[in-house]
Amino acid sequence: MREGSVAVIGDKDSVLVFKAIGVDVYPVDGEIQAREKVHALARTYSVILVTEQVAKWAEMYIARYSARPYPVIVPIPSAEGSQGLGEARIKANVEKAIGADILFDKEDK
Amino acid sequence: MAKLNVNPTRMELRRLKNRLKTATRGHKLLKDKSDEMIRRFMLYIRENKRLREEVEKELQGSLKAFMLARAVSNDASIEEALALPGTKVKLETSSKSIMSVEVPVFQITQAEQSELYPYSFASMTGELDGAISSLSGLLPKILKLAEVEKTCNMLADEIEKNRRRVNALEYVMIPQLEETIKYITMKLDENERGATVRLMKVKSMINQ
């Protein structure tokens, strides 16, 4: 058992409100800044929430941590709404594991 | 399928037969592992999908409420109101093993749940209260989603890796070994027949 904390990275509009509930907030507004933040926080936080835009910007850095249990980096929708990245990730996982997308198929029928 | 480049001797044959036995057993075990991992993965991915949909919907609600609050009051006062949060999210993190894949597990131990609203109600709009309270209720779900999604991600990677191993054994290693064993057996049999024929020939020459 180890102590861990939660951080959120994203544009100011989307992340500021997280501050009130006790999550550490790191507003960024640019690709380079986003990458640096993800890289810098990955060692200190166990859960990092990133807006979908940041997830896209820092894709390479996030992929680097995918093989380890921590940190857990999760994309969340921003204030402008969801771009479907989370769903796309689930889909990709299903396809990778099973070879065909059986979860989303079922609902279309 | 190409056979391995080995000398057709009895010793080599014995060695290859042992390897084939190991490979077949390994293949069976890995296949079972793959089946079980996929079963577990299906359980998690269903939950993942459900949580993801719920979180996205509810989070957007909270963020919209917050946007409204920002529209009503000015930026500086909102930032001031949120500058010193009264609570801090703390997690207890550990990991568990699902089919020998290390996945994260964590629990919220919200230490000082003293004050959710770090400002006076008189100075802020009601929209902000709403945004904060709904987000605070949503946080456990977001963290659960984080846990489940990471688990799915890691399981998917592992399943793919495992499938490569199974396929390599099934379609490359085992056929290759079988082919080579067949080649050696045939070669040895041929030698034996050759020896018999030679002996018979020698015997008939002596008898003449």
Q: What's the average model confidence in pLDDT over B196-204?
A: 95
Domain ranges of chain A: 6-80
Judged against a pLDDT cut of 60, whether residue A107 lies above it is answered with no
Q: How many domains does chain B have?
A: 1
**For position B19, what pLDDT does the model report?**
93
pLDDT tens string A57-93? 888 888 888 888 878 888 888 777 777 778 888 888 8
Cβ separation B150–A69 shorter than 8 A: yes
Q: What's the average model confidence in pLDDT over B17-35?
A: 93
**8 Å CB contact between A74 and B143:** no
Does residue B208 belong to any structural domain of this protein? no
| Global ipTM | 0.85
Q: How many CB pairs under 8 A join A and B?
A: 152
**For position A104, what pLDDT does the model report?**
65
Q: Give A106's pLDDT tier (boundaries 50, 70, 90).
A: low
Q: What's the average model confidence in pLDDT over B167-183?
A: 92
Does residue B146 belong to any structural domain of this protein? yes
**For position B48, what pLDDT does the model report?**
87
pTM passes above 0.80? yes
Q: Residue written as tokens 């609050």?
A: B69
Q: Give A17's pLDDT tier (boundaries 50, 70, 90).
A: confident
Does residue B122 belong to any structural domain of this protein? yes
Cβ separation B157–A66 shorter than 8 A: yes
Cβ separation A66–B142 shorter than 8 A: no
Q: Is B136 on the interface with A (CB under 8 A)?
A: yes
CA-to-CA dists, residue B128 to A50, A58, B131, B136, angstroms: 22, 30, 5, 12
User: In Å, how far is B62's CA from the nearest CA of chain A?
Assistant: 9
What's the CATH number where B149 sits? 1.10.287.3240
Q: Is A12 on the interface with B (CB under 8 A)?
A: no
Which domain does B63 fall in, by range? Answer: 10-201
Cβ-based contacts of B149 with chain A (< 8 Å) = 72, 74, 86, 89-90
Does residue B112 belong to any structural domain of this protein? yes
**For position A108, what pLDDT does the model report?**
46
pLDDT tens string B5-14? 888 899 999 9
Domain A6-80: assigned CATH number: 3.40.50.10580
Does residue B4 belong to any structural domain of this protein? no
Give the number of other Cβ atoms within 10 Å of residue A16's Cβ. 21
Residue B183 has φ and ψ, to the nearest 5°, of -60, -45
Does residue B37 belong to any structural domain of this protein? yes
